[in-house]
Structure 1
């Protein structure tokens, strides 16, 4: 049965954006400096603080699920399957989607979820018991209150047929359970991201990204990072896990790279693309080290699979630009970009398509699952954005 058209948009005003230029130095904020140990800023400054607190907790639980699954992944081959498009998927992908869906629906049952997976593969590949076991171990709901059907239903709550938006403004969550599954499968070195955003009337108002093996602070045995953003409140990070498995340490405010020259700026691109296939290769050569840069060289930073860790690179100032070229044979999914957009914006950067238009999450009017950025996506530190757009516009098409 097809989902019926309903509206889930509450009547509230969005807080004003902070239009001030951000300083260069990072700001450290301990839990004692805020009204909540879970947030990097006082609650009264964040209109959606309740949603953000729940999102942070849900992503934290999901990242711990990923870590536990990854430890046992290669000892149980049935935990990895392949989707119709030959992309790998694991019980962690399904477990994360179920877990976050369950945690969000406890307090916000009327807000729809747009997510990558559905339960078909879980059922077809005899993964139900494995997924349910992982979800029960991390959910805040008691084990005896969660049935197999509950977990499968939680996965399908984010599936393609779960909700019809019917061309109306809406409030909804956007989830990528694991962005960069190929990185997840690489072992200790591969980066991957759990990404969650809340959209209100086509505006992304908050986002949380968890990267379980982002390089951390060895002094407190931490590993991984959680990055959070709230409209008007900036982008912040803290260590994701210590030996107890809980988020710990101080919040650090993120600011984009301060580069003002495209030459010698640090770039990252999609792993499936090469620099030579991008229009900017008409102007600059790419090198992976900065020691021997010449006048028309840029630094191409090796990154990871998936898009979201590249947004993290830009928002944290590790790179100045993330460039993604659209391809006619590939669809661009909303969950690969939504949370990254707000994290870059709130860190002082800018995200548009190659024509300079903002990413429109409502173009896929009925499902909100696809985006259609003209030419591709460019995320930058803001300083370089207009110059890059001019070069993209004037460059000859790369074959």
Structure 2
């Protein structure tokens, strides 16, 4: 199965959600970050719900038997008519050219499609996993965030799409402060076994897809350039820094990005080579929507990803990656050596349960 139609509709959905979320981010920035919750609702909450509704509506129209795992559920909206009203207004304001996807006709339609995102069983059949806004802290600050969508079939990633409205098309690196002021960023996509592609986004449509080059080999772990988010409470900073020290890096330069999917975009686009995520507790496991799609896009240009035990990521065990702890991403030429370094450091610096 080539998943061509799934990719087409997923691309359409993510593009529309990128336009919607970018409009909210622009509104926040135009008000000088002074947008109050009581005048717009919580802007991130409003954009999150609206983005999820737009995405699920498009996918469900074409694939009515598929299920969904989304970050949001409709219970808050049912309990808060004021927030629901603001979500509804935002969706109605979205310009949608063409008739490929019918518009949501009522607030009840919005509640219905958002409610479809509560799937728990992910191991069998076709499941779409989505994060309507990945990187909410960066979203509020006007920097890099992503809209992510992935199709999982029997626990494995088959299609991945990332909308990155602030990454400049044609850029060879990703930074929080390097914002696309002229367009609507880029859309990255992949189908398993078919490579990864990049397209420019605008309010009027999408540019032609360009196949992305395969990763180049890195000769040694001391040549790696890292991406992470050092302010995150989901990593053990001291142990991570011990890993970098053990690699005896030629340069200690690091790219700091808040959004998980933007990190995957950075690994794919270039300027960085590796990412190591060591949780602060052994009991911590990431949500699937923080990784589904972005991982596939990176793997399809030749990147290697495992957990800290060297295991493959399993998206078929529910809303969290319960079988996987931590992450090592790097070119295959050095992934094994980097994983050895990580394991050695962890043996000397055990993580608490």
The two structures have a TM-score, normalised by structure 1, of 0.75
SS at 1:237 equivalent: strand
- The answer to whether 1:229 aligns with 2:182 is no
Superposed CA offset, 1:191-232 (max 9, x none):
000010001112111100000001236999434110000111
Residues 311 and 379 in structure 1, CA contact (< 8 A), matched pair in contact too: no
- Cα separation, 1, equivalents of 2:12 and 2:102: 16
Residues 217 and 223 in structure 1, CA contact (< 8 A), matched pair in contact too: no
Change (3 A) 1:247 1:94: same
Matches within 5 A, 1:288-299: 296-299=249-252
Superposed CA offset, 1:72-100 (max 9, x none):
2354534454xxxxxx9421111110000
- Cα separation, 2, equivalents of 1:371 and 1:300: 30
- The answer to whether 1:95 aligns with 2:45 is no
Report the Cα offset of residue 269 of structure 1: 1.8
SS at 2:93 equivalent: helix
Residues 179 and 193 in structure 1, CA contact (< 8 A), matched pair in contact too: yes
Which of these residues, 291, 307, 321, is aligned with residue 353 of structure 1? 307
Residues 178 and 194 in structure 1, CA contact (< 8 A), matched pair in contact too: yes
- Which deviates the most, 300-309 or 225-234? 300-309
SS at 1:182 equivalent: helix
Residues 266 and 300 in structure 1, CA contact (< 8 A), matched pair in contact too: yes
Report the Cα offset of residue 322 of structure 1: 1.4
Structure 1's unaligned 5+ residue stretches are 1-13, 15-46, 82-87, 285-294
Change (3 A) 1:191 1:257: farther
- Cα separation, 1, equivalents of 2:291 and 2:27: 29
- Which deviates the most, 310-319 or 370-379? 370-379
RMSD: 2.5
List, as ranges, runs of 4+ consecutive aligned residues in structure 1 with deviation greater than 4 Å. 139-143, 217-220
Aligned partner of 1:251 in structure 2 is: 210
Aligned partner of 1:268 in structure 2 is: 227
Bigger fraction of residues in helix: 2
- The answer to whether 1:315 aligns with 2:263 is no
Report the Cα offset of residue 351 of structure 1: 0.9
Aligned partner of 1:277 in structure 2 is: 239
Aligned partner of 1:240 in structure 2 is: 201
Q: Between Structure 1 and Structure 2, how many residues are aligned?
A: 325
Report the Cα offset of residue 178 of structure 1: 0.7
The two structures have a TM-score, normalised by structure 2, of 0.84
- Cα separation, 1, equivalents of 2:208 and 2:150: 23
- Which deviates the most, 57-66 or 130-139? 130-139
Report the Cα offset of residue 170 of structure 1: 2.0
Aligned partner of 1:196 in structure 2 is: 149
Change (3 A) 1:312 1:121: same
Superposed CA offset, 1:326-385 (max 9, x none):
2336441000011111111101111110111100112x3xxx210035440112122211
- The answer to whether 1:152 aligns with 2:111 is yes
- Cα separation, 2, equivalents of 1:216 and 1:65: 19
SS at 1:258 equivalent: coil
Aligned partner of 1:24 in structure 2 is: none
Superposed CA offset, 1:169-191 (max 9, x none):
2211010111101110002xx10
